[in-house]
Chains A and B, each alone.
Chain A
Amino acid sequence: SQQGEEDPQALSIQEGENATMNCSYKTSINNLQWYRQNSGRGLVHLILIRSNEREKHSGRLRVTLDTSKKSSSLLITASRAADTASYFCATESGSNYKLTFGKGTLLTVNP
């Protein structure tokens, strides 16, 4: 069963705008990760946030984590057409070396 669920399923914005995607999960986690997938390609790791962290930045990416609400958000600032991709959250729980992925948000950035 899916641990993480992204919202919205699809998002279309104009270049230069900010894009926000959300992820909700069900059980306690060790960390939460965000991955990007360009059409027809494998997933690429973007950022990891641990359960004791509340916010993390990497370039134009900002991730927040609210463990009390079991939710995370990914903000992409000043979006570019090249940011067009599917974005997945993935959670790790326990000590079993596995990630559980959500179904993804399809982001389209229009030039």
Chain B
Amino acid sequence: EIQLTQSPSSLSASVGDRVTITCRASQGISNYLAWYQQKPGKVPKLLIYGASILQSGVPSRFSGSGSATDFTLTVSGLQPDDIATYYCQKYNSAPWTFGPGTKVELK
């Protein structure tokens, strides 16, 4: 069973900072990776799919890259509204495993 790890588990950044979150798969998953944002008390929101395709309506400061086993979510210019926990998820085959999450806080 393929496992996903995320790093860091949490980070503190200032408004305007460039933030990078990494997701690593224990085996190759091609580009079948999605990124979700979850704010406290809210449902997750799809940000990126296909490792790098921006979901409709998502601000362009979010971007994704990578393939096979190593993936990155970047926020170019952190905004107060971006404070949330971010999860990666593989969807190449069952199980549709989520990463453990990265909590982003304001410094």
Same complex origin of A and B: no
